[in-house]
Structure 1
Amino acid sequence: MSSDPTVPSSVGRRGPWFAAIWLFFLIDPIRAGLQDHDHVRSLAGVAATVAFAVVYMALWWRMRAEPQGRGTPLLLVLSALGVLMTVLLGEPGIACAVYIAVAVVMVMSFRWAAPTVVAIAVGSVLLGLLPGWQVEFGVAFGVIAASLAVFGMRTIIGRNAELIAAHQRNAELAVENERTRFARDLHDILGHSLTVITIKAELAGRLIDVDPVRTRAELADLERLSRDALADVRRAVEGYRDLTLPGELARARTALGAAEIEATLPNSTDDVPTELRELFAWTVREGVTNVIRHSGARHCEVVLGPARAEVRDDGPGPTTAAPRGSGLTGLQERATAVGARLVTTKLDPGWSLAVVVE
C-alpha cells in the first residue's frame, strides 16, 4: 500500500473507521426491507444494501492511500447498487444518495464532483414527486452537508501532505547544501596546504645533507603548516563553531559572487601566523560583509600578510565611514586583545578595512 505523502486525496488511517460509523443510517433501509411483505423483493433489497455498505467501505480503504481517480470502478459499482436499493426498497433506499455523494467527492476532482453532488441532491428531491413518496429535503441537505465535510477533510489532508512533502524536500536540500558547502570548504582548507606541505617535505629531503640549517627551517615551517591545517579541519568538522581563515575566504568568494562583485582573493594563507589566523578570519568576514551591504563596489580585494589583513573595495561608500556598528566594535576588541589595531582608510576610489599587528 502506498504511503506517498504527496497524494492529495489520500485519507488518513482513521478515516475508514469514522466512515464505518455513518453506516448506521443504512439500518432504516434494511429494517424497511425486512418488514416488507414481498419477501423476495425485500430480501434482494436487504442484500443490495449490505453489498452497498461493503463496497462503500472498500472504497474508503482504497482511497486511503491511492491517488484520485483510482476508485472510479468502485464508485460505479456503488452507484449501481444505490439505484438497485432504491428500486427494490422504494423511498427508504434514497438514503444511499448521501453515501454516493461522499464517494463522488473522494474519487472525482472538484470540477466534476460539485455538479455531480448537486445533481444527486436535486435527484433525491425529485424522487419525492413519485406517487406515494415524500419529498426528501433532509436527504438533499445531507448530501450537500456530507459532501462539503468530506471535501474540507480531503483539502486539509492534501494541504498537510503537501506541507510534509515540502518539509521533507527542504530538509533534503539543506543536507545536500551542507554537504556541498562542507566539501567545498574542506577542499579550500586542505587543497593548498597539502600541496605546500608536500613541496616543503620534498625540499627538506633534498636539503638534509646539503644545508642542515635550511632543512631545520623547512621542517619547522612544515610542522606549523600541518598543525594549522589540522586545526582548520577540526573546526570545520565541529560544525563551524569557530572561524577558519581558509573557510572565510571560501565563503567570501561565494558571497561576493552572489552579489556580483568581482573578487580578488589570496590563494594561500601560509604566511599568516597561527595565533593570528582567527583574528584575520574575523577581519575577512566583517570586511566582506561591509562591502556587500554598504559599499556599492564592483571589485573587492583581500590581502593577507604575516602582520596584516586587509579588505579593499572600489565603491563610493559608506562602508566603514559610517558610524561603527557592533561588528566593527567587536573586531576592534579582538584586535586589541592580541596587540593589533583596526585601521579604516578612504581610498580613491573606495575604502580599506585593515587589521595591523604592531
Structure 2
Amino acid sequence: MTGRTTAPIPRPQRGAGSQWERYGWLMAVVWLVFLVYPVMALLRSTAAQAWVVTGWVALGAFVVIYVAGFVHGMSLGGGGLTTPPKPIQWAAFGGLIACAALAVPAAGGSALSFLPFIMSFASYGLTRLAHWVTVSVCIAITAMIVLAVPGGMAYLSVLAILVMLAVVNTVSTTLIIRSDEAERIGLELATSEGREAVARDVHDLVGHSLTVVSLKAQLVRRLIDSDPERAKAELADIEALTTEAIAGVRATVADVRTAALAGELVSCRRALHAADITLRVEGEEAALSPAQSLTASWILREATTNILRHADASTVTVRIAPGRFAVVDDGRGLTGAEGNGVRGMRERATIGGAALAVGAGDGRGTRVEVTW
C-alpha cells in the first residue's frame, strides 16, 4: 500500500452559476477515489471486529463530512481563506480528524491517506494559521512513521505527496488571497471613481443650470417694469430649469440619467438665446455614435456654461462630423490657467475614449474639440 492521493478542495469561482452549484460537488467526489487504500486495508484488516466496524463507520463519516463541507463552502460561501471561517467549518475539520484517528486501529498506516484531504480542507476552508499548522503536523507525523516505524519506508510516497500537496496548496491559496485583495482594491477604486463621476455630473448639472437661472433672473429684473409679459415668460423658464436641474441631480445620483446630444443642443440654444448669443450647428447629430453623442452632450453642456460665464461671445458654432465634435465661440478667448470646467471636460473625454483639445477659435474666441 502506498496511499497515493492528491485531494485539494477546488475553490469555486464567483458567479459560477447554478450549474456549478448543482454539479460542482462531483469534483469533491472524484478525489475520494484515492481512499481506495484505506478501503483495501480495512478489507484485509486482522484487527478486532469492533475496530474494523469502527473503521468502516469512520471512513463513511469521513466521506460524508468531506463532501458536505465542500458543498457548504461552495454553495453557501462558507468562508475561510479570504473570510473568517464559520463554526460549522471548524466542526467539520474536527470531525475529519476524529474519523481518521478512529480508522487507524483497523487500517493501520493506510490511514495516512486521510491526511491530504485534511490538509486541503484546512488550506481552503480555514485560516492561514490553520493551513500552516495542519501542513506541518501532517508532514511531521508521516515523516516520523517513515523514519521510525518498522516498514515505514512503504509510506515514503505518501510523504512525498504530502510535501508536494503542501507546496501546491500554499501557492494556490496565496494566489487566491492576492486575487481577492486585488479585487477588493479594484472595487474600492471603482467606488471612488463612481463617486467622482457623480460629483462631476452634479457639478455640471447644477453649475450649468444655476448659470442660466442667474442670467434669466437678471433679465427678469430688467424687464419686470418695461415688459411684464416677457418677464413672466422668463420666470416660467427659470421654474422649468430648476425643476429640470432637481430631476437631473436625482437621476444622476441614481445612476440612471442619460444625455442625448439633440436634447442638449435644444437646451443650450435656449440658454444662449437668453444671453443674446446665437447658436449655429454645422453637421448632423447622427454623425456620432450613441456613445460619442453622450460624451459630446456633456462637453457641450460644460462648454456652454463656460461661454456664458467667461466668454462674452455673440456667436457659438457647434460642428459635428464623424469622430469629431467641436464648440467654437467668438468671445474673448483663453485667459489664465485651466479651471475645473476644462479639467472636467478632459476627464469626460478620456472616459469616453476621446481626446480633448482646447485652443484659439477662428481668429478669436475659444475652440473646444473632441476627437475619437
Same fold, TM exceeding 0.5? yes
Contact kept? 1:125, 1:135, Cα under 8 Å: no
CA deviations over 1:21-72 (Å, ceiling 9, x no partner): 1110112212321333544322221111111121122232333323323322
Q: Which runs of 5 or more structure 1 residues have no equivalent in the other structure?
A: 1-8, 253-265, 285-305, 314-325, 336-340, 343-353
Partner of 2:157: 138
1:17-28 pair list within 5 angstroms: 17-28=26-37
Partner of 2:50: 40
Partner of 1:114: 132
Identity %: 16
Q: Which amino acid is the alignment partner of residue 154 of structure 1?
A: T
- Whole-angstrom distance in 2 between the partners of 1:47 and 1:225: 78
2:79 to 67, 90, 93: 67
1:51 to 45, 50, 61: 61
SS at match of 1:308: coil
The runs of at least 4 aligned residues of structure 1 exceeding 6 Å deviation read: 281-284
SS at match of 1:311: coil
1:245 Cα deviation from its structure 2 partner: 7.5
CA deviations over 1:120-151 (Å, ceiling 9, x no partner): 12212323434565551111112122233233
Contact kept? 2:139, 2:159, Cα under 8 Å: yes
Q: Which amino acid is the alignment partner of residue 143 of structure 2?
A: V
Change (3 A) 1:107 1:245: closer
Larger Rg: 1
Q: Which amino acid is the alignment partner of residue 311 of structure 1?
A: T
Contact kept? 1:33, 1:45, Cα under 8 Å: yes
Partner of 2:241: none
Partner of 1:346: none
1:79 Cα deviation from its structure 2 partner: 0.9
TM normalised by structure 1 equals: 0.60
1:273 to 314, 331, 341: 314
Partner of 1:297: none
1:241 aligns with 2:283: no
Contact kept? 1:45, 1:88, Cα under 8 Å: yes
- Whole-angstrom distance in 2 between the partners of 1:244 and 1:135: 76
Contact kept? 1:10, 1:158, Cα under 8 Å: no
Partner of 2:173: 154
SS at match of 1:272: coil
- Whole-angstrom distance in 2 between the partners of 1:202 and 1:225: 22
SS at match of 2:142: helix
Q: Which amino acid is the alignment partner of residue 123 of structure 1?
A: I
Contact kept? 1:282, 1:331, Cα under 8 Å: no
1:282 Cα deviation from its structure 2 partner: 6.7
SS at match of 1:67: coil
Partner of 2:40: 31
CA deviations over 1:187-214 (Å, ceiling 9, x no partner): 11110211221342354342138xx9xx
Contact kept? 1:20, 1:57, Cα under 8 Å: yes
- Whole-angstrom distance in 2 between the partners of 1:138 and 1:93: 14
1:283 Cα deviation from its structure 2 partner: 8.3
SS at match of 1:90: helix
Contact kept? 1:106, 1:151, Cα under 8 Å: no
- Whole-angstrom distance in 2 between the partners of 1:105 and 1:76: 14
Contact kept? 2:311, 2:331, Cα under 8 Å: no
Partner of 2:102: 84
SS at match of 2:296: coil
1:272 Cα deviation from its structure 2 partner: 2.2
Which has the larger displacement, 142-151 or 266-275? 266-275
Contact kept? 1:126, 1:135, Cα under 8 Å: no
SS at match of 2:335: strand
- Whole-angstrom distance in 1 between the partners of 2:149 and 2:217: 98
**How many residues matched?**
271
- Whole-angstrom distance in 2 between the partners of 1:126 and 1:176: 59
- Whole-angstrom distance in 2 between the partners of 1:355 and 1:75: 71
TM normalised by structure 2 equals: 0.58
1:74 Cα deviation from its structure 2 partner: 1.4
Change (3 A) 1:18 1:203: same
- Whole-angstrom distance in 2 between the partners of 1:311 and 1:107: 63
Q: Which runs of 5 or more structure 2 residues have no equivalent in the other structure?
A: 1-9, 238-265, 274-278, 280-284, 286-291, 320-325, 338-354, 368-372
SS at match of 1:66: coil
Contact kept? 2:29, 2:67, Cα under 8 Å: yes
Cα RMSD after superposing both structures: 4.3
Change (3 A) 1:134 1:47: farther
Q: Which amino acid is the alignment partner of residue 80 of structure 1?
A: A
SS at match of 1:241: helix
